[in-house]
């Protein structure tokens, strides 16, 4: 009797392990100010990072020294830094004032002795993350840039869309910059695509929500492609 789960649409937190909050005494807590680095590139930590509040951003440093976004970690997200890989070039910074709790391998084992169910939660956190990036590689390989952004919007509609006076509303704070980072499109291109979708009266994006007027057009555009 397996359980069928819905995958994450956005690279954010993936699966919050809230129950780990009961065992914070086993780990060590620390606060970070906005902009402060939690993990520097190639730093060996040997601990699990558990986000208690705020938000961390995980990115890689490219060979030309630029930051490439990977995922965002909100409350109760678990980030594995128990193991270190050679030249990972991974940077974790607090994008808000944040509080985190670290667990070493020994501390984690003590927690698991108290609560075996948590092992499954941790596994599920890993599974969610792996599944997301599995899909992400397919997305990058199978679809054109503009199709990826349309598909993202369609997935958001399916998972978060609410029907409201003849339109579908997605309540979400998702700047163009973020969409650009997730889909791999240039931020200027993202802006142009939203301009097109608005002119075509397919959808409109505001600061806190995306309002879809024509779901069918959005869906069909994925295959047709966009002519600006």
Partner DNA sequence: CCATTAAAGGTGC
Partner DNA sequence: GCACCTTTAATGG
Binding site for DNA (CB under 7 A): 144-147, 175-177, 184-189, 191-192, 194-195, 207, 225-228
Name the residue with tokens 């069918």.
216
Minimum distance from residue 207 beta carbon to DNA (Å): 7
Minimum distance from residue 227 beta carbon to DNA (Å): 4
Q: Which is nearer to DNA, 88 or 97 (CB)?
A: 97
Minimum distance from residue 117 beta carbon to DNA (Å): 38
Q: Which is nearer to DNA, 101 or 197 (CB)?
A: 197
Burial of 214 (0-12, 13-18, 19+ CB in 10 A): middle
The C-alpha atoms of residue 117 and residue 130 are separated, in whole angstroms, by: 20
Minimum distance from residue 220 beta carbon to DNA (Å): 14
Q: Which is nearer to DNA, 167 or 176 (CB)?
A: 176
The C-alpha atoms of residue 95 and residue 207 are separated, in whole angstroms, by: 19
Q: Which is nearer to DNA, 114 or 138 (CB)?
A: 138
228 to each of 105, 179, 199, how far by Cα in Å? 53, 19, 10
Residue of 94, 82, 14, 89 lying closest to 53 (CA atoms): 94
């Amino acid at each position: 009797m397996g359980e069928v789960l819905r995958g994450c649409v956005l690279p954010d937190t993936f699966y919050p392990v809230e129950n780990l909050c009961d065992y914070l005494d086993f780990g060590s807590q620390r606060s970070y100010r906005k902009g402060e680095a939690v993990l520097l590139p190639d730093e060996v930590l040997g601990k699990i990072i558990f986000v208690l509040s705020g938000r961390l951003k995980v990115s890689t440093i490219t060979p030309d020294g630029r930051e490439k976004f990977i995922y965002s970690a909100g409350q109760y997200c678990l980030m594995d830094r128990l193991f270190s890989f050679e030249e990972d070039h991974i940077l974790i910074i607090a994008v808000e004032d944040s509080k985190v709790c670290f667990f070493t391998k020994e501390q984690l084992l003590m927690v698991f002795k108290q609560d075996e169910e948590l092992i499954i939660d941790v596994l599920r956190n890993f599974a969610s993350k792996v599944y997301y990036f599995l899909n992400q590689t397919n997305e990058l390989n199978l679809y054109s840039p503009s199709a990826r952004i349309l598909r993202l919007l369609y997935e958001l509609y399916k998972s978060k869309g609410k029907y409201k006076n003849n339109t579908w509303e997605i309540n979400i704070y998702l700047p163009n910059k973020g969409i650009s980072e997730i889909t791999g499109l240039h931020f200027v291109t993202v802006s142009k695509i939203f301009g097109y979708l608005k002119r075509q009266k397919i959808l409109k994006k505001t600061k806190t929500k995306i309002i879809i007027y024509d779901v069918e057009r959005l869906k069909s555009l994925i295959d047709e492609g966009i002519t600006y």
